[in-house]
A and B are shown apart, each in its own frame.
Chain A
Amino acid sequence: RKEVEQDPGPFNVPEGATVAFNCTYSNSASQSFFWYRQDCRKEPKLLMSVYSSGNEDGRFTAQLNRASQYISLLIRDSKLSDSATYLCVVNYRGGGYNKLIFGAGTRLAVHP
């Protein structure tokens, strides 16, 4: 089983749509959670951290359910510029490690 699992997509949505991405992680000792965005042939860039209380940044809302080991990202009012791959990322600290584990990403394509 992969440590971080995501639906690979692609999600093809029209502009203005609301789209939700899900992610599950296997290591209950994971401590921090993030969503990164990666454009084609580019490095990943931090979109937002994810907190247990849920957090919002403009059109983006992230949720974390530690009991279910489940993370979500909601994008409202999709823009063409939102087209990218969204990576669910978990930070694991333990056994002398402090490292990020990446999901394979969910691809989003927003069309006019």
Chain B
Amino acid sequence: GAVVSQHPSWVICKSGTSVKIECRSLDFQATTMFWYRQFPKQSLMLMATSNEGSKATYEQGVEKDKFLINHASLTLSTLTVTSAHPEDSSFYICSARDPAGGPSSYNEQFFGPGTRLTVL
């Protein structure tokens, strides 16, 4: 199946700093990528849909000025957590669809390994 990578896999930062997380599709081009957040023992919550060449679509309750998304190429989307605070500590996961995968895989998303963010 298609492979998605994330970097870094974990990061610890001080409160008030900004953190950038990269999501790459390694063997396919992804016009759409998704950013999720997962708190302990909770489900993955979609934060935003990242569209190559256009603005991201944010879910209700997600601050677009705090979580900056850039999808500058067909293989890379970045999420920047600006002025991070301890409550932003979470597991951030990206995913992507492979548009060339055919009808049977149209709705399948391939997930990156996640980035564990800890804000002190």
What is the interface of chain A, defined by CB distance below 8 A to chain B? 4, 8, 31-32, 34, 41-46, 49, 87, 91, 97-105
Contacts and interface: CB of A to CB of B under 8 A. Distances in A.
Sorting the interface of chain B by its residue count into under 10, 10 to 19, 20 to 34 or 35 or more gives 20 to 34
B67 interface: no
Given A41-B91, A104-B43, A98 B107 contact: yes
Interface stretch (B14-22, B70-78, B81-89, B111-119): B111-119
B44 interface: yes
Contacts of A42: 113-114
Contacts of B90: none
Contacts of A91: 107
Interface in B34-57: 34, 36, 41-46, 49, 57
Nearest to A3: B43
B43 A87 contact: yes
Contacts of B109: 100
Interface of B: 34, 36, 41-46, 49, 57, 91, 93, 95, 107-109, 111-114, 116
A46 B105 CA distance: 11
A8 B44 CA distance: 14
A102 B41 CA distance: 13
Given A42-B113, A45-B111, A46-B108, 9 more contacts: A8-B41, A34-B108, A42-B114, A43-B111, A43-B112, A43-B114, A100-B46, A102-B43, A105-B43
B43 A103 contact: yes
B43 A99 contact: no
A91 B109 CA distance: 10
B111 A44 contact: yes
Contacts of A31: 107
A102 B44 contact: yes
A50 to B, nearest CB: 12
A44 to B, nearest CB: 6
6 contacts: A31-B107, A45-B111, A99-B49, A102-B44, A103-B43, A104-B43
Contacts of A32: 107
B72 to A, nearest CB: 22
